[in-house]
Structure 1
Amino acid sequence: MTGQRPKRCEMNHFFCNLHVLIGAATYCDKAMKQLEEVWREKYGKLGVEGLREFQDKTGQYSWKHTDSATQRLIRTVSDAVAPGGDQKSGCIGHFATYRSMHSVSSCQVVPFRANRFNVMFKCAAGTYYHHRHISQMFSDGYVKAGNKLLRAVQADVACRPLLAGARALGILHKHITEPYWEWIENDKLHIIEGVTPQVQQLQSLLTEWSDDATPLLSRDIPALFKLDDNTYVPVKKDSVFDALYQDVDSEVQTLTKQALEVCCSALTVLLERRFIDQLHGKYSIPDNVSDQTKEETSGMPKSNKRGENDSGYWAYVKQIKPSIGPMAAEGSVMYRCNDTAQWLDGLSDDHLNKVMRKARTERRNWMNRYKERQMATEKQKEELMKQQAKEQENKSKRKSDQLREWLEKINEHGGECKSAEDVDVFVQNLKTKTKQLSGLKAHINFCRETYRFDSEIAPLMKFSRMGKQLTVEELTSNLKLIIETIKAGGLKPVNEKDQDVSIASSSLPELTEEQQEEMTDMISRIKANFSKEAIGAS
């Protein structure tokens, strides 16, 4: 016994290998945040940051969160459309109906709550997969962006740099984080002999991709994670995978490559810190590890996911089971509210048996009736959404017709005014006071519908004050001030980047060669800092 005491004091110490996924999200978010500063310098504000309602008095984005803008997009999309997301401000049910109408089988985004491992990467892939669905749903009028959450999603999902960031994280999900999870949980993997060589190979590949991520832009990159039986964990090439590589233009491809390179640089730091024993320590050469240690660790769990599952389920229960089916939810409510348990307890054995026998016999009938009711409800929702889309189309047509009418009236008397002198000529061409009032109102209405104005300019757009109609002279003065404000750049057209939700299909500002070189240099410095950090961690 004395000779065995030192042996009993020894312990093989390993970290949970699934927590690497949490660290990967943290490091990639840090990398994206730095890259986005470069993008803002070259392309301007990203997505929702350009909307006036999300800015403070100085014009700066007012939501001071520490996450990257890419993660902001991913999280808001999750809140807005994922089952179990934001029930108050989201459009979860409407998006489900929209998907059903357009044959999109399932939602590929999940709520962040109670989903810890790999959730950012999975939702990034899902966000990119659904970005056209979401944009089309808003633009066609099926759903109105009636609150800040939906307007934030509408703006961010149309921002090309943020979509490229989500696509980059989605590519990492498909090629690295998703197969990594399956690899770690496989029983055919030894925690030393299986993990060590694959981690070393992954670190080598990440270092190469941080210099040039072109291989990751190919859908045919070989599987990365090998099991102890020499088979590889396959990449899941589903509809989400296809969406990451289909119909990608050169701009998004370039931005995605930049995002992949900085993320790969950041991940090298993570691996140096998390797998220091496998890369440089006592497990770095598996052949040098004793057979006794290999035997002792042969059945060792490679993660503590069980504890995480318990915590996740507790959060799920606290959220009142958002994934529960409608029929089960109804049954649960009826069972409790009708005191069914107490009623059953009061029945005699014979009566109870009859009730239970009848329930089993009629179960199929009730299921069919419920399905019929559910289908009718879904049909009503589809018809309502189609009606909303039609109303939106009619509204846009009426607005276009009204703008055309105002413009025709303006063109009859000299055309659109570009200066205060033009306003004087415009008024002089209208011979009667009635025509002058009508013409001035048409011109002010035209400006109001074609330019975005703030609270300081709003009074100039009105035709009465304190219940009294404005005179020709007052309207003329107001129109002059509006024209001068437009000339000074104080009013932006409604179809500019900060208001147009179709910018996902438009081009970014074209950079000069000098600007492109400067941008490349800034990104190289970001990657160099991560490389320096990785060396310091080894």
Structure 2
Amino acid sequence: MPEVVDGWDDLTDVQKNACSTVNNFFCGLHLLVNFAECTTPALKEFEVLHKEDNVVNDFENEFGVDERDDIFLSKFDGDVITFLRFCAKSFARGVDEKCGCFAYFNSYCLEKNEKNNFISFRRNRFNIIFLMGEIAFYHRNHVVDFLQNVQDANNFLQKATLSLCRSNLVLAECKVLGLISKIITAPLWRLIEKTDRHVLEMNAYYEMILDFFDENSKDANSFIN
């Protein structure tokens, strides 16, 4: 520290301790931030390689701009990210009062002794895509049954959500995102939240993650199944 901090020898013990303390939480967040940022474009490329048609674009062409109810479609998002955003707009509390159906879906879940787990994309953690993938995969049958047999999807948002939820490719992506949430991002978040854990103690966990990725990059059957 004396080599990088001017006047180190003149500082009090409290000041020296403050200078030498690494913010473990924010340091640990770098991995989660980068993980989420890398995953989104990777999923879009995966979709390009594994299917010919884009479900969202097909719906956009069918309904036209005037019937989209001001629903924003990003050209940078793949179908699965669009699906997760649409699920939040449709089923999360207070996200889209005009086109969404939170109250009805919430009642539907209560009748089945289920909890509506959908949450908003906004004002949430940056690794929300993994948690939302987990939630969407869990509710996949509820979403189809509700929009098809109960709500009778009647606007662009709800019809596009239903169509995306019928896509095996989108559901497969949701499953993988959910597994990553369960196995990697959620446990890692809890680890870095611990204030008594030094950043260097995380090295062992990072090595475990690297080994896990390396193994599953060659054969992911044990991870998926």
Give a deviation string over 1:17-73, Cα, whole Å, max 9, x none.
234323222111121111111112xxx3143333342568xxxxx945211211111
Alignment pair present for 1:131 and 2:136: no
Distance in 1 separating the partners of 2:98 and 2:184 = 35
- What's the offset of the Cα at 1:13? 5.2
**Aligned twin of 1:30:** 41
What secondary structure does 1:134 align onto? helix
- Alignment equivalent of 1:71, drawn from 46, 59, 81: 81
Alignment pair present for 1:217 and 2:206: no
- What's the offset of the Cα at 1:201? 2.1
**Aligned twin of 2:212:** 205
The question of whether the paired residues in 1 share the 8 Å contact of 2:89 and 2:120 is answered with yes
- What's the offset of the Cα at 1:143? 0.6
Give a deviation string over 1:133-153, Cα, whole Å, max 9, x none.
01011221x112121111110
Alignment of 1:315-330 (within 5 A): none
- What's the offset of the Cα at 1:176? 0.6
**Aligned twin of 2:152:** 144
Give a deviation string over 1:297-322, Cα, whole Å, max 9, x none.
xxxxxxxxxxxxxxxxxxxxxxxxxx
The question of whether the paired residues in 1 share the 8 Å contact of 2:144 and 2:166 is answered with yes
1:196 to 1:101, Cα distance in 2 relative to 1, 3 A: same
What secondary structure does 2:53 align onto? coil
The question of whether the paired residues in 1 share the 8 Å contact of 2:91 and 2:100 is answered with yes
The question of whether the paired residues in 2 share the 8 Å contact of 1:49 and 1:55 is answered with no
**Aligned twin of 2:69:** none
What secondary structure does 1:17 align onto? helix
Alignment pair present for 1:53 and 2:73: no
What secondary structure does 1:72 align onto? helix
**Aligned twin of 2:32:** 21
Distance in 2 separating the partners of 1:170 and 1:139 = 24
Structure with bigger RCO (C-alpha 8 Å, 6+ apart): 2
The question of whether the paired residues in 2 share the 8 Å contact of 1:46 and 1:156 is answered with no
**Aligned twin of 1:82:** 92
The question of whether the paired residues in 1 share the 8 Å contact of 2:88 and 2:95 is answered with yes
**Aligned twin of 2:68:** none
Distance in 1 separating the partners of 2:73 and 2:96 = 18
1:209 to 1:54, Cα distance in 2 relative to 1, 3 A: farther
What secondary structure does 1:76 align onto? helix
Give a deviation string over 1:486-518, Cα, whole Å, max 9, x none.
xxxxxxxxxxxxxxxxxxxxxxxxxxxxxxxxx
- Alignment equivalent of 2:106, drawn from 96, 99, 115: 96
**Aligned twin of 2:4:** none
Distance in 2 separating the partners of 1:75 and 1:39 = 21
Q: Could you say which structure has the larger radius of gyration?
A: 1
- Alignment equivalent of 1:166, drawn from 163, 170, 174: 174
Distance in 1 separating the partners of 2:193 and 2:22 = 18
What secondary structure does 1:125 align onto? helix
1:54 to 1:167, Cα distance in 2 relative to 1, 3 A: farther
The residue identity in structure 1 corresponding to 2:75 is H
- Normalising by structure 1, we get a TM-score of 0.36
Distance in 1 separating the partners of 2:33 and 2:213 = 17
The question of whether the paired residues in 2 share the 8 Å contact of 1:85 and 1:111 is answered with yes
Alignment of 1:57-456 (within 5 A): 63-104=73-114, 106-140=115-149, 142-192=150-200, 194-218=201-225
**Aligned twin of 1:352:** none
The question of whether the paired residues in 2 share the 8 Å contact of 1:125 and 1:170 is answered with yes
The question of whether the paired residues in 2 share the 8 Å contact of 1:135 and 1:158 is answered with yes
Give a deviation string over 1:342-388, Cα, whole Å, max 9, x none.
xxxxxxxxxxxxxxxxxxxxxxxxxxxxxxxxxxxxxxxxxxxxxxx
1:3 to 1:202, Cα distance in 2 relative to 1, 3 A: closer
- Alignment equivalent of 1:4, drawn from 5, 9, 29: 9
The residue identity in structure 1 corresponding to 2:188 is Y
The question of whether the paired residues in 1 share the 8 Å contact of 2:56 and 2:79 is answered with no
Uncovered stretches (5+) of structure 1, i.e. residues with no partner: 57-61, 219-538
Uncovered stretches (5+) of structure 2, i.e. residues with no partner: 1-6, 66-71
- Normalising by structure 2, we get a TM-score of 0.81
TM-align CA RMSD? 2.5
The question of whether the paired residues in 1 share the 8 Å contact of 2:148 and 2:162 is answered with no
Percent identity reads 25
1:86 to 1:202, Cα distance in 2 relative to 1, 3 A: same
Moved over 4 A (4+): 5-15
- What's the offset of the Cα at 1:10? 6.2
The question of whether the paired residues in 2 share the 8 Å contact of 1:77 and 1:153 is answered with yes
